[in-house]
Amino acid sequence: MLNEYPIQALMKTTLESLKEMIDVNTIVGEPVETPDGTTVIPISRVSFGFASGGGEYKYNNDSDSKEDMNKFPFAGGTGAGVSVQPVAFMIVGNNKIKLVSVDQNANMFESLVNLTSKFIDKLESKGKDEPEKRIENKN
């Protein structure tokens, strides 16, 4: 088995902590149901950064122990940062889906979702309004 460097343990601990903090519910939040039956789902932007570093330094020669002379003192550290910003709320109710943007620059995505919802509504209503046409075989 290969010896593990101390920096690997630091990185592993930091990455495991990040994994616990960031999951799908961080981006698409828990749905909240209002008294009128409408469901509001928060959508967020998640950004994170990770840095790690370390080094081994020459051991002080004052020790007589041969074992101590083969080891180098280790110094290291890791750090991480996470940013969660709400960007929109998806509102589901009355057989409609609407995306309300928090950021004014996200209007294109909001429009796309809202237009898709309207398009689906029109397709559904068009199928209900027109009677089914049958082609008769005249042979």
pLDDT score of 137: 58
What pLDDT shows up at residue 1?
Answer: 40
pLDDT of residue 2: 47
Predicted TM-score of the model (pTM): 0.49
> In the prediction, which pLDDT does 40 show?
92
Domain boundaries, the chain: 6-59+67-129
pLDDT in tens, 56-113: 777 666 655 556 555 667 788 877 788 888 888 999 988 888 888 886 665 666 667 7
Percentage with pLDDT > 90 across the chain: 7
Two structure tokens written together for 95:
């057989």
Could you tell me which of 135, 45, 39, 130 has the C-alpha nearest to residue 90?
A: 39
Q: Look at residue 118 and tell me whether its pLDDT is greater than 50.
A: yes
